[in-house]
Amino acid sequence: MIHILVTGGNGQLASCIKDLASNYKNVHITYTDAHTLDISDNKAVTQFFSKHTVNYCVNCAAYTAVDSAENEMITAKNVNQLGAKNLAIACQANQATLIHISTDFVFDGAQSTLYSEAHKPNPQSVYGKTKYQGEIEIQQHLKRYFILRTSWLYSEHGHNFMRTMLRLAKERDTLSIVSDQIGTPTYAKDLAEVILTLITTNQTAYGLYHYSNEGVASWYDFAQAIFQETQTTIKVIPIKTVAYPTPAKRPAFSVLDKTKIKDTFQISIPYWRTSLQKALKAL
């Protein structure tokens, strides 16, 4: 039996892992949230690992409120950096493997070609900086880890862009959506599938990997696709980032190069629009 700890157990990625878990034999998964395990509390993490068998820890816990993080620096740092460090130390002490979820926000978005794992991060927001610091902590304290950077995560669960668009379409006739930030929407269930596959096939090619769906889109493209797929009639107006100022700076371009993860683990990645159809059907 493989014993898996999933932190951030009420979030959308953990919820997608829950949806898929029954497809995988010989796995026992324990889900925790901030109330049952505060990952920023080193003593609590150490005690949890001493009381439970943990072969794999999937760290889905994160402070992801990108704009709020600009004013809540300490909270973001505690979860995204200190939490990652505490889990890495506990995994090292207990010979467990850590699968940690990171973000395209570690990049500044200044280039116009795909970002590979070899590109140097240069985060422009508190969220991006604390997530990058979390990556560094893991690399310093642990040998057996997979850091999976992803982008624009959405699903039928939790709060995300897809669900927000569908809600706003019921309340408004017109929406203005940013068209000059380019990335790739990623269906959380596709990422959950990859995580469970890495675990159940006992992969040991540890390291840093990029994973998002295939293809390229702007937020405007993503919104348009959501409305087209659901046959929702609403006027969508493309706007520039400067017309919609936010406290946190977002990367203008953050399309991830997935060559390494595809070649290493022989996985095929769905096109973002195909996965969007699946997510809408699940919703």
Predicted local distance difference test score (pLDDT) of residue 217: 98
Which residues lie closer than 8 Å to 18 by C-beta, 6 or more apart? 29, 31
Q: Which domains does the chain have, with CATH numbers?
A: 2-159+185-214+254-270 (3.40.50.720)
Predicted local distance difference test score (pLDDT) of residue 47: 98
Predicted local distance difference test score (pLDDT) of residue 42: 98
Q: What is the DSSP string of 94-137?
A: TTPEEEEEEEGGGS----SS-B-TTSPP---SHHHHHHHHHHHH
Q: Report DSSP state, residue 54.
A: -
Q: Residue-wise pLDDT tens for the chain (283 aa)? A: 999 999 999 999 999 999 999 999 999 999 999 999 999 999 999 999 999 999 999 999 999 999 999 999 999 999 999 999 999 999 999 999 999 999 999 999 999 999 999 999 999 999 999 999 999 999 999 999 999 999 999 999 999 999 999 999 999 999 999 999 999 999 999 999 999 999 999 999 999 999 999 999 999 999 999 999 999 999 999 999 999 899 999 999 999 999 999 999 999 999 999 999 999 999 9
Distance CA 54, CA 147 (A): 18
Distance CA 141, CA 60 (A): 19
Q: Which of 253, 258, 206 has its CA nearest to residue 100?
A: 206
Predicted local distance difference test score (pLDDT) of residue 211: 98
Distance CA 184, CA 215 (A): 6
154 labelled catalytic:
no
Handedness of CA 44, 147, 79, 167 (dihedral sign): negative
Q: Are 13 and 40 contacting, i.e. CB atoms less than 8 angstroms apart?
A: no
Cα separations in angstroms, 279 against 139, 157, 219, 230, 273: 33, 10, 17, 11, 10
Predicted local distance difference test score (pLDDT) of residue 34: 95
Q: Which of 31, 56, 63, 127 is catalytic?
A: 127
Q: Report DSSP state, residue 51.
A: H
Predicted local distance difference test score (pLDDT) of residue 113: 97
The pTM is what?
0.97
Q: What angle do CA 122, 104, 189 make, to 5 degrees?
A: 165
